[in-house]
Amino acid sequence: MNKKELIETITKNHAGRGLSKKSVAGIIDDTFAAIAKGIKKAGRFSFPGFGTFTVKSRAARKGRNPKTGEAIKIKASKAVKFKAAPAFKKGL
């Protein structure tokens, strides 16, 4: 599913409530912006029944350029990790 399909599904599920695709798109954008802000600020975001997003630190490491075989240094970085809730996992 992509963003367009999500917007269409929500609009269809709430037909008759006066929600346009544009307003649903705005709500979805605001929701994901708030989740991103929460992850940045607190280092995690949890949604019961769905899962938890946390910030994971990756250490600096050595790698190889696949084209030339030359050794390179990969800088330390941060990534977002997702752990599914047990109820969500069970439904897969």
* 3, pLDDT greater than 90: yes
CATH 2.102.10.10, applies to 43-92: no
Whether 34 has a pLDDT exceeding 90, the answer reads yes
Kindly report, as residue ranges, where domains of CATH 4.10.520.10 are found in the chain: 43-92
pLDDT tens, residue by residue, 40-79: 999 999 999 999 999 999 999 999 999 999 999 999 999 9
Torsion of CA 33, 37, 39, 40, to 10 degrees: 130
**Residue 15, pLDDT score:** 86
pTM for the predicted model, two decimal places: 0.76
Quote the pLDDT of residue 16: 84
Q: Is 32 exposed, middle or buried (0-12, 13-18, 19+ CB in 10 A)?
A: exposed
